[in-house]
Structure 1
Amino acid sequence: MSSHIIVTIMLCALSCEPAEIRVWDGDSLRLGMTQEAEAIRIFNIDAPEIEGQCAYESDLAERSKHRLAELLQGQRVEILRQGTDRYGRTLASVSVNGSDAGDSLVSEGLARSWSGRREPWCG
């Protein structure tokens, strides 16, 4: 089983402050290090699951998670909250230096644009 990746960022809204994010997978992260840390799901993408249905999905999920951590590490990050999902996670777009992190993962083949429902990753 894979663990999360901790990255340090500059979290920016009206001003920027240092923050730590735990990256769980390619579309899920937690803002902060406490048990009560805000759970965030990148709302415009669907990334493969770490506990995937096949080896391909699990491998792609690890690559997606590591790439999201690379994109965020040490960068200026903006989180634009869009509401919550059925699990209580904050739905948000995540921008890194003005570029959408979800769009970057999609363009690199590490996630899909969110269609409104999960699609299988295994053939």
Structure 2
Amino acid sequence: MNIAKRMGAAAAAALTIVGGTVAFASSANAAGSWQCRHWTEGTACARTVSNGYDVQWYKQPEAGGAHHVDFSLECTNGYTYGDPGSFWIDSYQTRSYVFAVGVRGSCRAVVTDYTSGKTFYSGYATKLG
């Protein structure tokens, strides 16, 4: 009887550990993986997050000093969103913005560099309802 109780307790503990691991893995994957495209001037990325899409720009030093840039979000279903405003970014800096737009399918970051006159795109991040 004592052995049966120990085996039952061990089984319950094992299930608790497995359940805890599954819950941890699920919460760790709450944000999608980054979908990036690398350019000489920097790296544009997008990923899904719980309330929409997170976009990011990392500026390479090859692009010179500070640049005036702006984010927007472009989706394959025709939706396009702008952020509240443009910003300055210097070499080796990373800036990001979350577009809290909910589920919009496949979307990508658009980084408009007003200093160079160029536009950069990330890969598409997909969020399904």
Give the TM-score normalised by the residue count of structure 1: 0.27
Give the TM-score normalised by the residue count of structure 2: 0.26
As a proportion of its length, which structure holds more strand? Answer: 2
